[in-house]
Structure 1
Amino acid sequence: MAATIESTFVAVLVLLSPLFLATPLSFAWKWWTGMEPEHEHYREKVRIVLDSGIPLSRYRPELDAEARKVYLDPDRQARIESDLLNPLGVTHFILFPALIAWPILFPFSVIIGLLAWFPLKMFEWILIEKRILLRIANLVKKVNRWEIIGIPRSDIGIKTSDRILSSIHRMPITVFLGLFSYLLIMNLHWLAGFSIQNTILLSSLLYIILVSFISVIRAATASALSFADLPKRKIIPMDSLVESWMAPWVGVGLVFFLVRQLTFSYKAIRQDTLFIDPIIFSLSILLVLYTATIIGLMIEVTFFRKRARDVKTKFQLQVIEKHSPTLYLFTQHLGDLKISPLMSLDEWIRKDESFESADFDRL
């Protein structure tokens, strides 16, 4: 039987409910990071440093002095700096209700999160130990006629880096991969006659594989490594390249599958599934969204905080062995842009990815 226009309208409202919650949550977030005049004063000082292209470590003493002038405690400093370096948008705030639902979703989430540990180790072995990721980087470099260089990340020297903010900033892609897997398998459900249990099982398996593969790549490329596109005069950090390639495909896929299912429900094109009811379908989408959020948090705890640094270092050393890239600083002063060689990337790694004041005297 075709869904009524009322039930379809309710289903759309259910799907949009996270967006309605995102507005008050974004305001609460701004209040938590700091909205007072003294907070804005410090925020502007940090923004000036970031706009210059020089890592925060160069002006750490000056920034700390500014914070003391306006009586900011170190925690507030860290939140303001993290918010500028890892700003949160709507895609982040729609995930926050999962923190309320986590006691209900945790049992199922923890099973999938623990199962993800094996494929994470497997993809780490394939991509890093067997140098497959290095071959992929070499192929991208060759096909696009790019060069590999190093550009220091802006967060070097951040005040007591807020791990929670960094984790939340990485999560949308991880979460939406779970939703994408669920919707993809649901469409195969119609084609292959899968049961609801098999749909959940297969979508969980696909999600574990996708998120493990992407997590290892993101951990390995979260460094100074960048591609230089000389003909187009662009510098492309490797980590942002991964997300810029993935986000459109995942986003278009989600919109396509959501619209397709709601259309099928409204016109009664398919009636061989429990989710022919658009309201039940919309509720299942929210359930998967928030379950994937809890799983994403678990992956952050079990992988990014324990293995990410080793993965990143190994990949950087492989790139250094193959290409011997140079570390550059891309700066701006009074409207003038300047890219300056600092040292070899190998030397910078040996210095534990930190700067000395003498390094900036070369500029």
Structure 2
Amino acid sequence: MSSSGGYMAESLESLFTAVLILLGPVILALPVSFAWRWWVGMEPEQEDYREKVRRVLDAGIPIRKYRSQLDAEARKVHLNSDRQARIESDLLHPLRLTHFLLFPSLIVWPLVGLFAAIITLPMMPVLRLIEWLLIEKSLLSMVAKIVQKLTRWEIIGIPRLDDGAKELDRVLASIHRMPITVFLGLFTYLIISYMPISAKNIMLVSAVVYIFLVSFISVIRAATASSLVFADPTNRRLIPMDTFVENALGPWVGVGLVFLLSRQLMYGGQIRTDELLADPVAFSISVLLVLYTATIIGITVELIFFRLRGSSVRNSFQKQMITIFKPTLYLFTRDKGSLHLSPVMPLSEWLANDEHLGNEN
């Protein structure tokens, strides 16, 4: 009886320690989020500029149209261009707790950088292969055509609100995209950990599956980060294509992570017999290592693929959509409580005009 009680106490202690380890990034994320808010700007004049930018965005108008007015307002309150970029980017691509969970990877990258490099190097040719299949061979446009037929949605164009934002917007947009890429790696690891193979093979299989998943998702996200929008008249909805992809992935990955983590912590000893993953503490440490390794991989994908190939992939996909659907560009605006969806020009004409509306001044 005493040995059984001692074993139970030891198990509870291990479980408690494992939970604390997993909560570590959450605890660290709280002060980081406050520091980020301070870095973006909390002074009265900075908040005043934030409110002016928010009014432009709430009106549904791209920042480019009011760029000169916003710059004039910034000069009045002595805000430099860098501070403007921080405020605008924070409004366009706000960072949440899930983003701040990844910041410790910047500290531990010397420990996980080698593993990330081993996975990233073979990922580059796979990314190119997936891009060739989805974009150059038009598989993604075929999928979009199937979605349109099944849902009976229309495909239109609406200018992105971040058009004309200051340069930091690109950096923050990259950070904003990362959580799904990162958590997809952790999700893959947790799924593969249920396979009856050794811990070493779990890491190997997880890496291979992750390479293909991230390559597939990255090409889709790069292609849909455009002005293309699904219009659902039946349910009175406008769904940007990139939002459609995020909504399709986010809930599955999020709910799956919570379920798999809790199940592995509670029943890991019954699911697996090897010491590495059966022990809750060792498992929690492995989860953090996978999380931060996936973060470094996500940063690399952003720096290499999205920066070098993102625009080309997006433009190619938009041209395919124009050929198939011949969409119209609309302005979706709000004025004193009234919403307006106004046709402007064919999307092809707008793209030929370098995505300028022509009357922006």
> Same-fold call, TM > 0.5?
yes
The aligned residue for residue 110 of structure 1 is 117
In the alignment, which of 93, 110, 129 is matched to residue 100 of structure 2? 93
Partners in 2 of 1:186 and 1:16 — Cα distance? 21
What is the DSSP-based 3-state SS (H/G/I as helix, E as strand, rest coil) of the residue aligned with 1:53?
A: coil
The aligned residue for residue 49 of structure 1 is 56
Mapped contact 2:271–2:278 kept (Cα < 8 A): no
In the alignment, which of 234, 238, 247 is matched to residue 250 of structure 2? 247
In the alignment, which of 332, 335, 338 is matched to residue 333 of structure 1? 335
The aligned residue for residue 77 of structure 1 is 84
Q: Which moved more, 1:245-254 or 1:283-292?
A: 245-254
The aligned residue for residue 218 of structure 1 is 221
- Matched residues, number: 354
Mapped contact 1:275–1:281 kept (Cα < 8 A): yes
The aligned residue for residue 184 of structure 1 is 191
Partners in 2 of 1:76 and 1:106 — Cα distance? 31
Partners in 1 of 2:232 and 2:46 — Cα distance? 38
What is the DSSP-based 3-state SS (H/G/I as helix, E as strand, rest coil) of the residue aligned with 2:253?
A: helix
The aligned residue for residue 132 of structure 1 is 139
Q: Which moved more, 1:250-259 or 1:339-348?
A: 250-259
Please state how far the C-alpha of 1:273 moved relative to its aligned partner. 4.3
The aligned residue for residue 316 of structure 2 is 314
Give the aligned residue type for 1:254: L
Residues 66-125 of structure 1: per-residue CA shift (max 9 Å, x gap): 000010010110110000000000000000000001122111111211211011001100
Please state how far the C-alpha of 1:298 moved relative to its aligned partner. 0.3
Mapped contact 2:198–2:274 kept (Cα < 8 A): no
Residues 335-363 of structure 1: per-residue CA shift (max 9 Å, x gap): 000000111100111111123226x9xxx
CA-based RMSD: 1.3
Change (3 A) 1:233 1:7: same
Partners in 1 of 2:13 and 2:192 — Cα distance? 27
Residue segments in structure 1 that go unaligned for 5+ positions in a row:
none
Mapped contact 1:57–1:355 kept (Cα < 8 A): no
Change (3 A) 1:308 1:101: same
Residue segments in structure 2 that go unaligned for 5+ positions in a row:
1-6
Q: Which moved more, 1:219-228 or 1:157-166?
A: 157-166
Residues 132-155 of structure 1: per-residue CA shift (max 9 Å, x gap): 100110111111110000011100
Partners in 2 of 1:20 and 1:300 — Cα distance? 26
Query: Percent identity between the aligned chains?
Result: 59
Please state how far the C-alpha of 1:55 moved relative to its aligned partner. 0.6
Q: Which moved more, 1:39-48 or 1:107-116?
A: 107-116
Residues 283-335 of structure 1: per-residue CA shift (max 9 Å, x gap): 11000000100000000011000000000000000000111000000000000
The aligned residue for residue 276 of structure 1 is 278
Mapped contact 2:40–2:87 kept (Cα < 8 A): yes
What is the DSSP-based 3-state SS (H/G/I as helix, E as strand, rest coil) of the residue aligned with 2:132?
A: helix
Mapped contact 2:61–2:161 kept (Cα < 8 A): yes
In the alignment, which of 22, 29, 33 is matched to residue 15 of structure 1? 22
Mapped contact 1:95–1:293 kept (Cα < 8 A): yes
The aligned residue for residue 263 of structure 2 is 260
The aligned residue for residue 351 of structure 2 is 349
Mapped contact 1:25–1:93 kept (Cα < 8 A): yes
- Structure 2 residue 205 is the aligned partner of structure 1 residue 202: yes
Please state how far the C-alpha of 1:248 moved relative to its aligned partner. 1.1
Mapped contact 2:199–2:277 kept (Cα < 8 A): no
Mapped contact 1:156–1:354 kept (Cα < 8 A): no
What is the DSSP-based 3-state SS (H/G/I as helix, E as strand, rest coil) of the residue aligned with 2:308?
A: coil
Partners in 1 of 2:75 and 2:103 — Cα distance? 32
Partners in 2 of 1:274 and 1:44 — Cα distance? 51
Partners in 2 of 1:50 and 1:222 — Cα distance? 18
Partners in 2 of 1:270 and 1:51 — Cα distance? 52
Mapped contact 2:326–2:346 kept (Cα < 8 A): yes
